[in-house]
Amino acid sequence: MENKEILTRLLVEFIRTASIRLPDDVEARIRTLAADETDPVGKNLYGCMLENIELARAYRRPICQDTGMLQFFVRVGTRFPLIDCVEDCIREASLRATESVPLRPNVVEPLGERNTGNNTGYGTPYIEWELEPNGDSLSILLYAAGGGCSLPGRSKVLMPLEGMEGVKKFVYDTILDWGVNACPPLLVGIGLGTCAVTSAMLSKKAILRKIGTHCENERGAQLERELQAELDTIGIAPLGFGGKHSVLAVHVECAGHHPATLGVGITTSCWATRRGGIVIDRGLNARYTMHTVGEEV
Amino acid sequence: MKKIITTPITYEQIKDLKIGDTVYLTGKLATCRDAGHRRVMQEEVLPERFDLRGGALYHAGPIVRTGPDGTFTVISAGPTTSRRMESVEAEFLGKTGVRMLIGKGGMLEKTAAACKRFGAIHCAFPGGCAIIAADRIRKVCDVEWSDLGMAEAFWEMEVEEFGPLIVSIDTKGNNLFANNQKAFAERVQKLKEKL
């Protein structure tokens, strides 16, 4: 088989796994929260989530009907032999996965609102590129962005004098406003940067990180701990019915910012967070970084 | 014991249900979301082969596979955010006679008032539990408005003990999520006071 075909097939299976199964860290966190919940309705709802996780795995079907918009975060070594084919393979794999998993065709054309029927279209699948000088492997993070949990996303530039107080108010209000409809407990990503765009991108990077990891910046890590405890006191999970928690975790990513601005981005991801990681070496051997591969997938 | 509602739904079947009660649905169920509501309300078109009077409507955009013989299989079918339909749902209920709305999360004042006025309820199906939902769908009977795409089409299905459905707006107009939202807002207020 041609190498391009091998790479495409690896990516189809990668999309399939990430659509059917939750990443290990997310599933483990749901089990922890389920065991911790005392409210009877809440306990039942966590029971439904766990049953749904099991059924999706047993039937090999997408865990949620909203299989999201496929977003790929690619880090490719400049010496990866198939570097010129990566984009084609991602596009082709998205098409094939839509048919074979199957995924819900979600992509509607900008302005025209016509569904393309195959999950590809102008600017989609979304691909974010990073080059690794002298590297010879390909590393991809996939995030399937569902509609319900993309809806709360926002980004705003505060004045620096508003400080962390301003950041926290913005986060509380965002979670209060649309959190219930985003299928909590939520994975909340906060990005702190200069402008609306860089902050939003950092907030997306934050949710790509595994639960249990922390912001490298000590103050960022402290903000994660504080916001997680504070958001949990609102108690919107599970699913807006109310309980002991609101979030799976809060992740913060930050970058140096302009002295006159404090950009804040917020990205939320549902309890059924679909993300995956794959590393493919120059010999096209693949390994998953977020899913333990059992016999079934 | 499971409380089961069957279609066509009568006022009698649902009038004593209270917010927080769990019920299940057996009978006919149709999916309708953003574009379907736009079609009914703006283009003044109703589905031709599905009787909405006394009907149950599911805010959902399922994944449906079409077999070589043209038969449909529902693969995954969790609920979508009901609140997106808030601006038109009250009028929609009056126009169609639908008695049970099913979706994710709750709806707001206008829909709650309409449920009281027209004798209808809104129920929440647990968000993201799409395989549980698909498992309770016995068959797809028909599809209309497939020009709107798979997610937005009007899928007509037969379901058996579809649920759990937690009553979020009852026929008295009580609203579970509005009550919860009030409590959440008070807790946010407390957090802000501590800053």
Instruction: State the smallest CA–CA distance between residue B101 and chain A in angstroms.
Output: 16
Domain count of the fold of chain A = 2
Q: How far is A84 from chain B (nearest CA, A)?
A: 33
* E runs forming strands in B71-120: 72-76, 100-103
Q: Report the b/e string of A217-233 with b at 16+ CB within 10 A.
A: eeebeebbeebbebbbe
CB pair distance less than 8 Å for B184 and A183: no
Q: Which phi and psi (to 5°) does residue A293 adopt?
A: -85, 115
Residue A296 pLDDT exceeds 60:
no
Which residues of B are less than 8 Å from A237 in CB distance? none
Q: Could you tell me if A162 and A133 lie in one domain?
A: no
Q: Is the dihedral of CA B136, A37, A143, B154 positive or negative?
A: positive
In a shared domain, residues A64 and A156: no
Tell me: do A261 and A279 sit in the same domain.
no
A84 lies in the same domain as A184:
no
Q: How many CB atoms lie within 10 A of CB B3?
A: 13
Closest by Cα among A187, A17, A58 to B131: A58
For residue B1, name the pLDDT band (cuts at 50, 70, 90). Answer: confident
Residue A12 scores a pLDDT above 90: yes
Which residue, A10, A143, A1, is CA-closest to A89?
A10
**Residue A128 and residue A11 in one domain:** yes
Is the CB of residue A12 less than 8 Å from the CB of residue A142? no
Predicted pLDDT of residue A113: 75
- In chain B, the percentage of residues whose pLDDT exceeds 90 is 97
Instruction: Identify the domain containing residue A247 by its residue range.
Output: 148-269
> Is the pLDDT assigned to residue B94 strictly greater than 60?
yes
Closest residue on chain B to A62 (Cα): B76
CA end-to-end span of chain A: 22
Both A212 and A248 in one domain: the answer is yes
pLDDT on residue A293:
84
- Output the furthest CA–CA distance in chain B (Å, rounded): 63
ipTM score for this prediction? 0.94
**A135 and A153: one domain?**
no
- pLDDT (0 to 100) of residue A297: 45
What residue in B sits closest to A151 (Cα-Cα)? B81
Q: Are residues A239 and A212 in the same domain?
A: yes
Instruction: Look at residue A180 and give its three-state secondary structure.
Output: helix
Q: B128–A270: do the CB atoms touch at under 8 Å?
A: yes
- For the domain spanning B4-194, the CATH number is 3.20.130.10
Catalytic residue among B33, B37, B59, B136: B37
Q: What is the pLDDT of residues A136-181, one digit of tens each?
A: 999 999 999 999 999 999 999 999 999 999 999 999 999 999 999 9
Question: What percentage of chain A reaches a pLDDT higher than 70?
Answer: 99
Partners of A62 on chain B (C-beta within 8 Å) are 63, 75-76, 130
Instruction: Please tell me the distance from the alpha carbon of residue A275 to that of residue A265, in angstroms, as a whole number.
Output: 19
Convert A31-63 to b/e letters by CB count within 10 Å (16 or more is b). eebbeebeeebbebbbbbbeebbebbbeeebbb
Q: What is the per-residue pLDDT across B4-57, written as a single tens digit (0 to 9) for each?
A: 999 999 999 999 999 999 999 999 999 999 999 999 998 989 999 999 999 999
Q: What angle do CA A137, A190, A145 make, to 5 degrees?
A: 60
DSSP A154: E
Shared domain for A141 and A278, answered yes or no, is yes
Q: Tell me what pLDDT residue B85 has.
A: 97
Question: What is d(CA A31, CA B162) in angstroms, rounded to the nearest whole number?
Answer: 25
Same domain, A130 and A153: no
Mean pLDDT of chain A: 96
**Which pLDDT does position A20 carry in this prediction?**
97
The pLDDT value given to residue A114: 86
pLDDT value, residue A295: 52
Rg (CA), chain A: 19
**Do A118 and A33 have their domain in common?**
yes
The domain limits of chain B are: 4-194
How many CB atoms lie under 10 A from the CB of residue B40? Answer: 21
Using CB atoms, which residue from A56, A67, A239 is nearest to B127? A239
Asked whether the beta carbons of residue B63 and residue A67 sit closer than 8 angstroms, the reply is yes
CA distance A113 to B148: 9
Task: Report the 10 Å Cβ neighbour count for A67.
Answer: 29
Put simply, the answer to whether B76 touches A63 (Cβ < 8 Å) is yes
Relative to beta strand A186-193, strand A154-158 is: unpaired
pLDDT per position as a tens digit, B105-159: 999 999 999 999 999 999 999 999 999 999 999 999 999 999 999 999 999 999 9
Q: What is the pLDDT of residues A73-130, one digit of tens each?
A: 999 999 999 999 999 999 999 999 999 999 999 999 888 778 899 999 999 999 999 9
Across the interface, do A63 and B149 touch by the CB < 8 Å criterion? no
Q: How many angstroms away from the CA of A74 is the closest CA of chain B?
A: 27
Same domain, A200 and A134: no
B59 catalytically annotated: no
